[in-house]
């Protein structure tokens, strides 16, 4: 799914470019390419709406260093509309970034093994270590328009 500065999806109908990655922002530069991929079937609650969920990453900065965060990555949940002949990204939500700080409880796995992502009441739900100024294990569900996270009480 990650190939020469692009995030692509291959299907029987052909290959679609979902995102072009600017030079210097390649997730492989910071070891983030392993996170790129579709969530497993058990974490695809929007199939009936023809929406597939995948994770993507990019390098936080394009090479200017800026210390520890400059060598990190940003992690996104992407919602892919499979209805059109060529799949299109409907929306993207930031779920990991050193500079914010936004961090899932365990983000050192592949997209197919994210343990802090689940489906609750038909919605994709994520458990964070912290999300900006929210601490104590904040939990959020994806909004019905797939454009934001809705936080519940920390667990």
pTM flag (> 0.75): yes
Q: Encode pLDDT of 46-79 as tens digits.
A: 999 999 999 888 887 655 555 556 567 888 899 9
Q: Are 126 and 139 in contact (CB under 8 A)?
A: yes
Strand order in the sheet with 2-3: 2-3, 6-11, 14-20
CA 26/CA 63 separation, integer angstroms: 10
* pLDDT exceeds cutoff 60 at 2: no
Q: What is the DSSP string of 19-58?
A: EEPPTT--GGGGT-GGG-EEPPGGG-TTGGGTEEEEEEEE
CA 56/CA 2 separation, integer angstroms: 9
Q: Encode pLDDT of 100-153 as tens digits.
A: 778 776 655 555 556 688 899 999 999 888 888 887 789 999 999 999 999 986
Q: Are 77 and 123 in contact (CB under 8 A)?
A: no
CA 9/CA 15 separation, integer angstroms: 6
Residues linked to residue 76 through DSSP beta bridges, in sequence order: 56, 94
CA 73/CA 30 separation, integer angstroms: 7
Q: Encode pLDDT of 4-44 as tens digits.
A: 676 766 665 666 777 777 777 777 777 777 788 888 899 99
First CA to last CA across the chain, in angstroms?
Answer: 34
């Amino acid at each position: 799914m990650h190939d020469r500065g692009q995030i692509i999806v291959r299907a029987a109908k052909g290959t679609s470019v979902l995102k072009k990655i600017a030079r210097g922002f390649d997730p492989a530069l910071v070891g983030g390419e392993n996170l790129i991929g579709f969530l497993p079937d058990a974490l695809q609650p929007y199939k009936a709406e023809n929406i597939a969920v995948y994770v993507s990453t990019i390098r936080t900065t394009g090479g200017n260093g800026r210390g520890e965060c400059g060598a990190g990555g940003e992690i996104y949940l992407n919602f892919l509309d499979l209805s059109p002949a060529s799949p299109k990204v409907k929306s993207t939500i930031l779920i990991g970034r050193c500079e914010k700080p936004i961090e899932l409880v365990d983000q050192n796995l592949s997209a197919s093994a994210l343990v802090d992502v689940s489906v609750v009441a038909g919605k994709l739900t994520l458990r964070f270590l912290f999300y900006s100024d929210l601490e104590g294990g904040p939990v959020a569900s994806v909004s019905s328009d797939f454009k934001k996270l809705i936080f519940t009480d920390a667990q």
